[in-house]
A = this chain, B = another copy of it.
């Protein structure tokens, strides 16, 4: 997996997170508060700027009550 692949995965992942968070009616601030992280961290994950950890992924999936696999459903380009 090269850096371009990683960037593309992070952007798709972040877009999925944003969509699923909004579908649950949560603001970035509300999700950040539930996780106990800074709102800027949620923003950076959703913009694909940071490659978050599996424990943060797990915490997000619990907070949104969404299976972790849903964040990795990417459209074929």
Contacts and interface: CB of A to CB of B under 8 A. Distances in A.
A55 B71 CA distance: 12
B55 A54 contact: no
What size tier do the contact residues of chain A reach?
A: 20 to 34
> DSSP majority for the A interface?
helix
A51 B54 CA distance: 6
A58 B36 contact: no
A57 to B, nearest CB: 6
Interface in A50-70: 51-55, 57-59, 61, 67-69
Interface of A: 1, 6, 9-10, 13, 35-36, 51-55, 57-59, 61, 67-69, 71-72
